[in-house]
Amino acid sequence: MPVSIINIILSLVVALVLHELGHFLAARACRIRVTQAGFGWGPELYRLRLRGIDYQLRLLPFGAYIRLDMAELQRRALAQQLFVLFAGIAVNLMLAALAWGTFFGSFNLALAIANLLPFYQQDGWKSGILICRHVFGRTSQLVEWSFTISGGLMSLAFVARSLFSF
């Protein structure tokens, strides 16, 4: 069954917004202040400030984000920090299960798996860095760079294997 461009765009938009909503709700549940929520990249098209949160809509509909009070997040227990980081992945896994067998379900599953990979700035990488800092009781550039480089190489190998194993 061919997938239309409208289906691809809507799937992307909905999956990204709901992924970030997972982080947003988890942060609120842990009483971590959310300072900004946005959709898209590039120049700002629209901004609304509501209840202390700056909501933004940007020109290019690729990507979504929330910005947390990082000092507040870092003062939380490791379990709460990981809960906030994994909440977006959990939302994508739930959406994948609910929409199983559809393009939207497949897209959410792929998004969840991609975010679990320890690739730089993905949720899996951020969680790995948090765990390393917790285990060592401090930041360590050697450990964090080693984790970043090895995680990136593992992620690239995983993606390459997936793409070329037909």
- Per residue in 114-158, pLDDT (tens digit) is 888 877 778 888 888 888 888 988 888 888 888 888 888 887 887
Residue 57 has pLDDT above 60, yes or no: yes
Question: What whole-number percentage of the chain has pLDDT above 90?
Answer: 44
Residue 100 confidence class, pLDDT cut points 50, 70, 90:
very high
Domain ranges of the chain: 1-116, 117-166
d(CA 1, CA 34): 41
- Per residue in 80-97, pLDDT (tens digit) is 999 999 999 999 999 999
d(CA 140, CA 120): 16
> Residue 121: how many CB atoms within 10 A of its CB?
8
Q: Tell me, what's the pLDDT at 5? A: 86
The secondary structure of 127-151 as a DSSP string is HHHHHHHHHHTS--HHHHHHHHHHH
Q: Tell me, what's the pLDDT at 94? A: 96
pTM: 0.84
Task: Give the residue carrying structure tokens 């946005």.
Answer: 38
Q: What is the DSSP letter of 122?
A: S
d(CA 111, CA 106): 9
Mean pLDDT along residues 19-31: 95
Task: Give the residue carrying structure tokens 């896994």.
Answer: 93
Class of residue 91 by CB neighbours under 10 A (exposed 0-12, middle 13-18, buried 19+): buried
Q: Residue 117: what are its φ and ψ, rounded to 5°?
A: -65, 140
